[in-house]
A = this chain, B = another copy of it.
Amino acid sequence: MLKLSKLTDYAVVALVRLGQKEEVTTSPVLSRSTGIPEPTVAKVLKILATQGIVTSQRGARGGYRLAHPLEEISIATVIQAIDGPISLTTCVDGGDCDARSTCGLGGQWDMVNAAIRNALSAITLADMKNHTVTDRLGGLRTPSMPGGPAATA
């Protein structure tokens, strides 16, 4: 369905909320603040900590804190942290595709991957917080897009 995992959704919510606090924040507090179930938000924070997006402080009086300001964290970064690398197809530069020799379009998917990655990198968490979408997305237009109503059926 080309939808990112719910964990990523939660991650963005938690990060934005975390960006509004200066102090270190614990998982239960963040859970109460966001409405996300405690174990889940804990897991998300854990992953984000391993990826260096948030810094963690273990032990009592511990918690999490943003490693970078909210404006410098792009959606792509969060997605890559949670969902793994953004590579739409299996036949990327690695190449475990079985039909690579015959398919004709060698590694042409990389172009698509780059396009998506750019689109995702252009949006930061600060843009999500308050929808001050600048005109940075102005270059992205939707062109024609055929195949709507099942022309032949």
* Chain A, 127-153, CB within 8 A of any chain B CB: 127-134, 136-153
Assess the B111–A140 pair: CB atoms within 8 A.
no
How many chain A residues sit at the interface, stated as a range, is 35 or more
What copy number does this chain have within its complex?
2
Determine if A122 and B147 form an interchain contact, defined as CB atoms under 8 angstroms apart. no
Alpha-carbon gap, A104 to B131, bound state (A): 11
A52-B130 in contact (CB<8A) = no
Contacting residues of chain A (74-110) with chain B, CB-CB under 8 angstroms:
74-77, 79, 81, 83-91, 97-99, 101-106, 108-109
Kindly identify, within residues 37 to 82 of chain A, every residue whose CB is under 8 Å from any CB belonging to chain B: 50-53, 55, 67-68, 71-77, 79, 81
Lowest 7 CB-CB distances: which A-B pairs, in order?
A139-B139, A35-B99, A35-B102, A52-B150, A118-B140, A71-B150, A119-B119
Chain A positions near chain B (C-beta within 8 angstroms): 1-4, 6, 8-10, 12-13, 16-17, 33-36, 50-53, 55, 67-68, 71-77, 79, 81, 83-91, 97-99, 101-106, 108-109, 111-112, 114-124, 126-134, 136-153
